[in-house]
Amino acid sequence: LLYEKMTGTAAPAPAANPFSDTTNPQILKAANLGIVGGVGGGKFAPNNNVTRQEIAVMLLRTLKTVMPNISTTAEFKTQFQDVNSIDSWALEAVNFMNAYDIIRGSTVDGVSYMLPKGNTTKEQAIALVLRMYNAFNKL
């Protein structure tokens, strides 16, 4: 839906469902755009939780689909104590999302953590999508 709101066009559905465990049209459109890829073996795992690093990757893929020429080179705005816990496949996305204040992490006793493998709540996901829309929709 973020793609559709930012482009003003309907996301195309795939010709065939790549997943055996979901028929959700939003998931299928996101897969067709390359925003999500599932867990392998033709499965999406729609009931799995989404980690913070996974949502960062999905948001960056969405932005790259909407704005293919955007530079995603960025520096962390926050010095996360657990930066080494971010998987290499997610580092660019987490870095970018933090640099643009989309993902801010968590602070415990004055120390900042990304908690990249922590689950993203529905409320957090809504806040992230709204921040992304507000930050990049007018560009």
Q: Please write the tens of the pLDDT for every residue from 19-39.
A: 999 999 999 999 999 999 999
* Residue 138 scores a pLDDT above 90: no
pLDDT-derived band at 44 (thresholds 50, 70, 90) equals very high
108 bridge partner residues: 111
Compute CA 101 distance to the chain's CA centroid, rounded to the nearest angstrom: 14
Q: Please write the tens of the pLDDT for every residue from 74-100.
A: 999 999 999 999 999 999 999 999 999
Q: Which of 1, 30, 2 is nearest to 137 (CA)?
A: 2
Helix or strand or coil: residue 119?
strand
107 bridge partner residues: 112
Helices (H) and strands (E) in the chain, counts: 5, 2
Half-sphere exposure at residue 1, Cβ-oriented, CA atoms within 13 angstroms: 6
pLDDT of residue 13: 92
Helix or strand or coil: residue 18?
coil
Give the predicted TM-score (pTM) of the model: 0.93
Rounded Cα distance between 136 and 80, Å, is: 24
pLDDT-derived band at 139 (thresholds 50, 70, 90) equals low
Rounded Cα distance between 67 and 62, Å, is: 8
Rounded Cα distance between 123 and 73, Å, is: 28
